[in-house]
Amino acid sequence: MSKHRDEKNTGDLGVLAGMVEAVRADAPAESVWWDARRNLMGRLEGSREVSVVTRILRGSRSRRIGWAAALGIVVVVVALLIGLNPWARGPGQAFAAVVEQFRSARTMTCTVITQGEGLPTVRAEVAYKEPGHMRQTTIFPFGRNISVFDTTQMRTLVLIPATRQFMEMDYSELLPDLPANRTAISDIEKLRTLPDRANELLGEREMDGRKVLGFLVTEGGTRVTAWVDAETWDVVRVESEWALAPGMRVVMTDFQFNVDLDDSLFSLTPPEGYTRLEYQMDLSTLNEQDLIRLLRSWAEHDKDRLFPPALDYTSLAKGAVKMGFSAKKTDFSAKEMGFLAKVKEYRAAMKEAEQFGAHMTRGMMFLMLIMKPENDWHYAGEGVQLGEALIPICWWRPDGSDTYRVIYGDLSIEDVAPEDVPSAQERQDAE
């Protein structure tokens, strides 16, 4: 076709010309593309990893979105729980050059893969920008959630693109109760607080066609292994395991330092068109009732009405996945169901998912406050059924108190003198 004819017809637009021009000029912001690209690449690269989980979770899409919300909220808790666990400084010198890469970075991006037995592999793309801004896009088999953290304000915005909903979380009133050094958020920022010295040199190894050197740092049940390029000392891979999440491993790769990251990526303002999740989490009033709700929520979702085997992040995550599996039992596509009944049940399922996520989050946040050595925290709920009124399932001594708070299997709670809490032998049996 001749150029002349093409031009002639473009000229024929008349009144439409300005509008066409407006469409052509309406381009997305650079940061938006960057985000979309990372999500796409994550989805493509992760499609084989998640395929098994996708098959397991195959069911109503709408229902899965609801549980994605719950899982997404739990992911935020992971970031916090793991991030708020402080590092101790240790001896060693060679490792300092590795740590310096994290400390001196103005911005950082990486891929984070969380793995655990009995859990789906969860992939996240993380971007960090000083001071204390982090954006984490978590890719689930059934969608993705975006969490934007701001430690300068101690606030988090959780976005659920599939349903165009958001949740805001504010930890600022929670902070005074936490140690001053607990300000690192999530895995990536915690890398900046690694000690200057590694506990062990792991030697040289071949990884993805390049020679790498390994360093192991251990502290208080936390193990971090960093692999760096043997020639350039660029960080290639970091693997972490935490005491709070036994059996789980986080692998960080694809590190990039000082890349341009637009401030808009870290905005705490929900995008236009997003609506607030019905359930919003108020973290300013955490108390023991939050722990009770967590325990009740868990037991009520368990087919045998049992309490969790342990109260750590791994168990919590497994619980969330388990609830997701049981959710697919509801058949929203049943032809005999009327449309309105379907809508009603769908809404109820969404609400249930949101509440479950909220109960897990608040409960774990409260636990974080009382799991200090001075609170003598104990959990003995494994194998105990909801309603067993005579069995203590957990106990702790609140700050400044002479007595313990004990929660029983019927979720009643009472003050108990130190001599009346379960004996050392009973504790050993329980733990």
Partner 1 sequence: MRQGHAERLAELADRYGRMVFATAYRVLGNAEDAEDALQKVFLKLLSKWNGRLKPDAVRDWGAFLRVSASRCALDMLRRKARRKRTTDTLSERVGLAAEENPRHLATRREEARLLREALSALPKRDARIFALRYFEDFPYAEIAEQMNVSVSQVGVILHRARKRLRDILEPVVVPASPGTRLASDAGQESGKENSNV
Applying CB under 8 A, the residues found at the interface with partner 1 are 1, 3, 5-6, 9-10, 12-29, 32-33, 35-37, 39-41, 43-45, 47-48, 51, 161, 164, 271, 273
Minimum CB–partner distance for residue 345 and partner 1 (Å): 21
The DSSP symbol for 382 reads B
Tokens of 413: 């709670």
* Cis bond upstream, residue 270 (ω within 30): no
Cα–Cα distance between 393 and 390 in angstroms, integer? 9
What's the distance, CA 356 to chain centroid?
A: 15
Minimum CB–partner distance for residue 113 and partner 1 (Å): 16
Nearer to partner 1, 43 or 342 (CB): 43
Minimum CB–partner distance for residue 275 and partner 1 (Å): 13
Nearer to partner 1, 42 or 59 (CB): 42
Minimum CB–partner distance for residue 51 and partner 1 (Å): 7
The DSSP symbol for 13 reads T
Tally helices (H) and strands (E) across the chain: 11, 16
Cα–Cα distance between 100 and 320 in angstroms, integer? 37
Cα–Cα distance between 79 and 137 in angstroms, integer? 12
Nearer to partner 1, 164 or 347 (CB): 164
| Angle, alpha carbons 74-79-80 (nearest 5°) | 95
Minimum CB–partner distance for residue 380 and partner 1 (Å): 46
Nearer to partner 1, 23 or 417 (CB): 23
Report in angstroms the alpha-carbon separations of 65 from 39, 69, 273, 346. 17, 6, 18, 11
Nearer to partner 1, 36 or 201 (CB): 36
Minimum CB–partner distance for residue 13 and partner 1 (Å): 6
Nearest to 158 by CA among 281, 283, 311, 339: 281
Nearer to partner 1, 53 or 213 (CB): 53
Minimum CB–partner distance for residue 79 and partner 1 (Å): 23
Nearer to partner 1, 274 or 377 (CB): 274
CB atoms closer than 10 angstroms to residue 82: 23
Nearer to partner 1, 20 or 348 (CB): 20
Q: How many CA atoms lie within 13 A of 168 on its CB side?
A: 14
Nearest to 193 by CA among 281, 128, 275: 128
The answer to whether residues 357 and 73 touch, using CB atoms and an 8 Å cutoff, is yes
Minimum CB–partner distance for residue 363 and partner 1 (Å): 32
Nearer to partner 1, 36 or 334 (CB): 36
Nearer to partner 1, 39 or 315 (CB): 39
What's the sign of the alpha-carbon dihedral 252, 254, 258, 262?
negative
Nearer to partner 1, 275 or 412 (CB): 275
Burial class (CB in 10 A: 0-12, 13-18, 19+), 92: middle
Sheet holding 378-379, edge to edge: 378-379, 388-396, 404-409, 413-416
Tokens of 395: 């106990």
Compute, in degrees rounded to 10, the torsion defined by CA atoms 115, 119, 123, 127: -80
Minimum CB–partner distance for residue 61 and partner 1 (Å): 14
| Angle, alpha carbons 165-169-172 (nearest 5°) | 160
Minimum CB–partner distance for residue 40 and partner 1 (Å): 6
Minimum CB–partner distance for residue 15 and partner 1 (Å): 5
